[in-house]
Amino acid sequence: MSWQHTIEQALQQQHARQGWRMRTVHAAADRLPYLLINGQNQLNFAGNDYLGLSRHEAVIQAWQHGLSRYGAGSGASGHVVGYTEVHEALEAHLAQWLGYERALLFNSGYAANQALVQALARKDSVLLMDKLCHASLQEAAAQSDALVRRYGHCRHDVLARHLAQHGARNTLVATEGVFSMDGDQPDLLELRRLCDEHGAWLLVDDAHGIGVCGPEGRGSAAAAGIQADILVVTFGKAVGVAGAAVLCRHSTAEYLLQFARHLIYSTAMPPAQALALHEALHQVAKADAARAQLQANIHDFRQRFVSGSLGLLPSHTPIQPLLCGDNDAVLAAAAALQAQGLWVGAIRPPTVPIGQGRLRITLSAMHQSEHISALLAALEHIA
């Protein structure tokens, strides 16, 4: 069988199961929370820019200043000549702000998770992970030499049994601070207790919690009053830019600098981006008013939602998933919303389980009451 035949067969199967993925081109809209698609404004209920910082003037100016001073790129891996004074300052700021000894910058949350698992999950180790952890963690775990066990989503009783059996080994428990497709949160206080009881490390991927949860937006762990042994934060959601960081102990950071291949062999993020991130994090820390508005929007949406045939999952985060069922149903629902100027993501397997296709509605501090009213009216009509 030729490669061409294999590829064409896979594409036909993807079409047949309504799993076809497409990118949508949009232009720069005049303001948030709009997208400009095919010349028409669409209210954006699909993005993760929860605080609207991607358009914040101070962040933009910081990036422009960085471009003028450092150029467009870093030019090399951080292990060669790509690590500048700006990167060092950003890592120090992150470590101090989030309460860790060290921080290491990565180009994406996907790369950070892959690097962590590949470096830590060896033959003498055990990886226990929530069944709904991000694909980056699942993929790295499947490729590792560690003993991997996925426990039922937020089933901490099942995790406790795994820890009782394997806790004596080098055990890493992995979870998300806010689950990206369900929008719910684990009991991090209980996870911390279980890990301490059995001598395991706790890894929290807080991509959707940083900037949104906790004092100064320091994330899900800060909101729960605990510290994870390893914290992953990403900057493409509430922080409004791009990239990621791993927060950890000094010895863990040194270990990753020696053995994390994604860190060693990737060109470092541009210094201008690091400078923009430094400013964005300052804005996050003082964005209490935006976080309050975001929470008010979440409450408003949930209070006024009329379910009909759509199942709203019990989320109190910006991610508000509406279960539609099969792929045909969720695609039809998304198309009906788009026809009314409302852009909502249609999420299908394998991103979510078969039969759990959903509209992944995301709310931001930039949404106004009339925006939410328009969405609710359209959803009621669809239902």
Q: Show binding-site residues.
A: 21, 109-110, 134, 180, 208, 234, 351
Name the E strands within 122-197. Answer: 125-130, 147-151, 170-176
Mark the binding-site residues for substrate, compressed into ranges.
21, 134, 351
Asked if 247 and 100 count as a contact pair (C-beta separation under 8 A), the reply is: yes
Among 81, 86, 56, smallest CA distance to 69 is for 86
Catalytic residue among 56, 87, 134, 198: 134
Alpha-carbon distance of 180 to 177, in angstroms, equals 9
Asked if 254 and 268 count as a contact pair (C-beta separation under 8 A), the reply is: no
Collect all residues with Cβ–Cβ distance below 8 Å to 64 and sequence separation of at least 6: 272
Catalytic residue among 113, 144, 180, 220: 180
Mark the binding-site residues for pyridoxal 5'-phosphate, compressed into ranges.
109-110, 180, 208, 234
Is 48 marked active-site?
yes
Among 312, 348, 342, smallest CA distance to 330 is for 348
DSSP 331: H
Exposed, middle or buried: residue 307 (CB in 10 Å: 0-12, 13-18, 19+)?
exposed
Asked if 270 and 73 count as a contact pair (C-beta separation under 8 A), the reply is: yes
Catalytic residue among 49, 130, 176, 184: 176
Among 273, 268, 212, smallest CA distance to 237 is for 212
Catalytic residue among 130, 184, 205, 206: 205
Exposed, middle or buried: residue 363 (CB in 10 Å: 0-12, 13-18, 19+)?
buried
Among 315, 218, 269, smallest CA distance to 108 is for 269
Is 176 marked active-site?
yes
Is 208 marked active-site?
yes
- Burial code of 18-41, b = ≥16 C-beta within 10 A, e = fewer? beeeeeeeeeebeebbbbebeeee
Catalytic residue among 198, 237, 278, 371: 237
Catalytic residue among 166, 208, 278, 367: 208
Alpha-carbon distance of 137 to 247, in angstroms, equals 16
Alpha-carbon distance of 109 to 164, in angstroms, equals 30
Catalytic residue among 48, 54, 125, 315: 48
Asked if 300 and 376 count as a contact pair (C-beta separation under 8 A), the reply is: no
Residues that are catalytic: 48, 134, 176, 180, 205, 208, 237
